Amino acid sequence: MTVSEIRQQFFDFFERKGHAIVPSAPLVIKNDPTLLFTNAGMNQFKDYFLGNESAPVKRIANSQKCLRVSGKHNDLEEVGVDTYHHTLFEMLGNWSFGDYFKKEAIEWAWELLTEVYKLNPQDLYVTVFEGDETDKVPMDSESNELWAKLIDPSHILLASKKDNFWEMGDTGPCGPCTEIHVDLRSTEEKSNIPGASLVNNDHPQVIEIWNLVFMQFNRKANGSLEPLPATHVDTGMGLERLAMALQGKQSNYDTDLFQALIQHMEKLAGKGYGKSEPTDIALRVIADHIRAIAFSIADGQLPANNGAGYVIRRILRRAVRYGYQTLELKEPFLFTLIPVLVEQMGHPYKELVSQENLITKVIREEELSFFRTLEQGIKRMDLLMEATRGQHNNTLEGTAVFELYDTYGFPLDLIQLIGREHGFSVDEAGFNQELTKQKERSRAATGIETDDWQQVNEENPTEFIGYDVIQCDTTIIRYRKVTQKQREFYQLVLSQTPFYAESGGQVGDTGWLIDSQGNKTRIFDVKKENNLIVHLCESLPASLGETLSAQIELNRRINIQKNHSATHLLHHALRTVLGTHVEQKGSLVSPDYLRFDFSHFAKVTEEEMEQVISLMEQQISANIPLNEKRNTPISEAQSMGAMALFGEKYGDLVRVIQFGESIELCGGTHVKSTGEIGLIHIQSEAAVAAGIRRIEVISGQAAETYFKQESALMTEVRTMFKNPKDVLKSIQDLMDQNQGLGKEIEALIKERNKGIKRDLESKLEEINGIPCVCQEVSIDTNSVKDILFQLKGQYPSFVGIIGNIDGDKCGLSVIISDDLVASKLWNATQWIREVAPMIQGGGGGQPFFATAGGKNSNGIKSALSALKNKL
């Protein structure tokens, strides 16, 4: 049975049990501050569990792409070392939202595994929560009894809170779970050691395949549990592990899903799988990581140096590291796996096919950049080894190694490897100490504490009515205090709101809540947490229970709307001018400007840019009215030709924004007709990553101000040039002239200095047999220096002492030829320091040349004679 068939049978089974089959949500999470990536099947249903939203259907099943790189279940550094952990994996799941509970969940799971997938019941073990005293939760005897009817009691095991009590986070829904494990060992091994003793013991062939979570509690901020009003079922079964069990393989990597990738790498590296442990690990790491990287990029998450993008970069670099170190691949190779992956997984995941070009380009570019980093690191590594040789027992110091790792991105294991080759060891304890320090710093800086929600009114969750009104009456449903970086603020949930919450690139509204007394509470930002609209303010309104008037800052909203509609026109214009490969990869719509990132493989030329602007201007002056359709079925929207974005999650009902030919799925706020946008101006076009360009545009008021200022500036320039016919030529002429004059002055100064030099030479005297010039001149210090160096070059034995007056400043310079410095141990610096006070200044230099500066030119004469007396 292939992986695709396994997936399909899962869907068919739960469809028969009355479940709706829904598509996988994107990998990248937008409206959840606690998560960077979808890491479990339930992520997209979080709001249903939290009670922020009610589920449209009560039974759902799907296969969800998930990414896990850290946490209690998985760590990036472990993936590939064993044969059953992954970064990206598919999670098959079935859900009940306040519908069926333990009985059906357990019975159906059993039916599917034993009757559809035909797993041998003798190979299956289940675990049941044993209860926990500190939480005062009893054992899950209900599950225990249900299982006892299906499976040999010796295959039912009790497990602790650590393994069998599931929690969404520090607070929120939680409950006991029951896990199904499968024993895939040979008959002989099974008879030697009973499978029951290997469950939950990290045995590669006795593994958990399905987890059934029964949500029945809510954990509060003080740690206590309260029962949930409605109970839910959340299950998750790793497709990769299931495939291994059903295909009778010893490892996930032996299934058809991974073999194609591994075989490609075997050919490329000229090394076979299954011959040596290090090679196998490297091949597994690469086969695993390429999936995570490719899917993330397809969902719009590019490698970057912070946030979610940094996680992707780290995964990519880990894969390259294994290829570089173990497989000895010294040039980019990851990108060559993309066609294989597309062949393998392009069918269920169409985004891979349509984004193939971009994914390949981005990965290749990232690989190249990492190879550059490695090259730099190797140079630094050489320096470090040179500096350490023969010291500290040839141990590279932890702080130095950490610097190499932290600042220059050179991987620790590579440092150790190269070190070993040259006879050095690494002070790992010292390194880890530095790493811990850095982690603590970061944690301290991001510390955020949230109190429990305080319920004020029992009403329905927030409704956004800001498409139609800018002001409305509302009440506070609940609020909580949040502390971040010693700054306290409050989050409010309102019964209804005109405030747009930051989403789809459009920033949140600002405004006020006003009570009946006219007291204003400033709302400084509005964000979404999952689908809950949260208003941020620095202090609570005085009267929490009463009806308040919510008002948004209108002028700011208007500017935002202009920029948002302009974004749509820009998107459409780019696709028209450059081609339909242009897709939105990021967007920011603020009151001041708009920023639009899109896929395109070359710089947008000036001509193309001209076309884009004029197309946008045409549409603005045509004053096309907004055609807004709310609650449109997604199928209908797509048949209208609406553009949907990859990596964006859409519900069944969507909102469509149309301005003529520009049709997009969009939840943002817009102008009523394009004419309102007014002027536009493109401020910049630049690259942000391989294959991704960024355009920044201003519109409306901001553009008007810009053009006004430019025009005023131009007028000033013209006036300065006495209104010439051709301003550019005037400026060019002026610049040419200026350059010519500069050179002329330089030549004149040189000429003058020559004269002064000749003059000084004529006053050359011998003091105690040493040729010496001691004079006062009125030129700048730089020229003095110039002349003195020339004289020093001319006379093998020579002392020059010059005092100069330059405006209201004055200076002293002494030069001594090298032979006198050597033979008489004269020191110009010492001399100049001694006499500098005479001109109320200070100075210094080197033994053969020193200068001093000061304010009192009356002191020059005495300073000069004092210096002369040194000879």
The residues that touch RNA, with contacts defined as CB under 7 A, are 305-307, 310, 313-314, 317, 369-370, 373, 376, 403, 405-409, 435, 438-439, 441-443, 445-446, 485, 785-786, 789-790, 793, 809, 811, 841-846, 848-854
Q: What are the phi and psi torsion angles at 423 (to 5°)?
A: 80, 30
* Rounded Cα gap, residues 825 and 823, in angstroms: 6
* Rounded Cα gap, residues 491 and 375, in angstroms: 48
Residue 262 or 787: the one with the smaller Cβ distance to RNA is: 787
* Rounded Cα gap, residues 617 and 102, in angstroms: 61
Is the CB of residue 679 less than 8 Å from the CB of residue 657? no
Residue 427 Cβ vs RNA, minimum distance, rounded to whole Å: 17
What counts of helices (H) and strands (E) characterise the chain? 25, 36
Residue 705 Cβ vs RNA, minimum distance, rounded to whole Å: 21
Residue 317 Cβ vs RNA, minimum distance, rounded to whole Å: 6
Residue 738 Cβ vs RNA, minimum distance, rounded to whole Å: 13
DSSP state of 581: T
* Rounded Cα gap, residues 683 and 692, in angstroms: 17
Q: How far from chain centre, in Å, is Cα 298?
A: 16
Is the CB of residue 721 less than 8 Å from the CB of residue 727? yes
Residue 389 Cβ vs RNA, minimum distance, rounded to whole Å: 19
The one-letter amino acid code at 524 reads F
> What's the residue count for the chain?
871
Biggest alpha carbon–alpha carbon distance for the chain: 119
Residue 174 Cβ vs RNA, minimum distance, rounded to whole Å: 21
Judging by DSSP bridges, how do beta strands 584-589 and 594-599 pair with one another? Answer: antiparallel
Residue 336 or 373: the one with the smaller Cβ distance to RNA is: 373
Residue 681 Cβ vs RNA, minimum distance, rounded to whole Å: 20
CA-based angle 662:297:599, to the nearest 5?
40
Token representation of residue 489: 């603020």
Is the CB of residue 662 less than 8 Å from the CB of residue 568? yes
Residue 482 Cβ vs RNA, minimum distance, rounded to whole Å: 15
Residue 247 or 373: the one with the smaller Cβ distance to RNA is: 373
Residue 306 or 580: the one with the smaller Cβ distance to RNA is: 306
Is the CB of residue 19 less than 8 Å from the CB of residue 59? yes
Residue 120 Cβ vs RNA, minimum distance, rounded to whole Å: 42
Is the CB of residue 524 less than 8 Å from the CB of residue 569? no
Residue 191 Cβ vs RNA, minimum distance, rounded to whole Å: 44
CA dihedral 662, 663, 664, 666 (to 10 degrees): 100
Q: Which residues of 570-602 are buried (b: 16+ CB within 10 A; e: fewer)?
A: bbbbbbebbeeebbbbbbbbebebbbbbbbbee
Residue 32 Cβ vs RNA, minimum distance, rounded to whole Å: 15
Residue 724 or 842: the one with the smaller Cβ distance to RNA is: 842
* Rounded Cα gap, residues 866 and 845, in angstroms: 18
Residue 49 or 848: the one with the smaller Cβ distance to RNA is: 848
Residue 410 or 659: the one with the smaller Cβ distance to RNA is: 410
* Rounded Cα gap, residues 779 and 769, in angstroms: 29
